[in-house]
C-alpha cells in the first residue's frame, strides 16, 4: 500500500509527539497536539465526506483542518478570508 500524506504525518507525530510541529507568534503546537486536533476535527465530518471548504486564518488550526480532511480521504478546497487586494491596500 502506498503511504498517504496523513499516514506519513501520523508516523512523524508518533516519533515526535512532544516536538514542535507549528511555531507561531502566539505559541507552539506539538505534533501530538496537532494530531489530537486533527482527530477532533475529523470526528465532526459526516460519513463519506468528499470535499471540505476551508476558510481560516493561516494558523495551526488550519493545518489541523487540512490534516483532518486528508485523514477522511476527502479533498479540501482552500479559500482566503480576504482578497489579496484588501491585504495590499489597493
Q: What is the DSSP string of the chain?
A: -PPPHHHHHHHHHHHSTTSEEEEETTEEEEHHHHHHHHHHHHTTSPTT--EEEEE--SSHHHHHHHHHHHHTT-EEEEE-SS-HHHHHT-
Residue 18's domain spans which residues? 5-88
Q: Cα separation of 13 and 5, whole Å?
A: 12
Q: What is the pLDDT of residue 88?
A: 57
Q: Is pLDDT of 84 > 60?
A: no
pLDDT category at 45 given cuts 50, 70, 90 is very high
Q: What is the pLDDT of residue 77?
A: 87
pLDDT category at 8 given cuts 50, 70, 90 is very high
Look up the CATH number of the domain holding residue 50: 3.40.50.980
Q: What is the pLDDT of residue 83?
A: 59
Count structural domains, the chain: 1
The answer to whether the CB of 40 falls within 8 A of the CB of 15 is no
Amino acid at each position: 500500500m502506498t503511504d498517504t500524506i496523513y499516514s506519513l504525518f501520523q508516523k512523524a507525530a508518533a516519533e515526535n509527539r512532544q516536538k514542535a510541529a507549528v511555531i507561531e507568534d502566539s505559541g507552539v503546537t506539538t505534533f501530538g497536539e496537532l494530531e489530537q486536533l486533527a482527530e477532533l476535527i475529523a470526528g465532526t465530518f459526516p460519513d463519506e465526506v468528499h470535499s471540505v471548504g476551508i476558510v481560516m486564518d493561516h494558523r495551526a488550526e488550519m493545518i489541523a483542518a487540512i490534516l483532518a480532511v486528508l485523514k477522511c480521504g476527502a479533498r479540501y478546497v482552500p479559500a482566503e478570508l480576504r482578497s489579496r487586494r484588501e491585504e495590499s491596500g489597493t
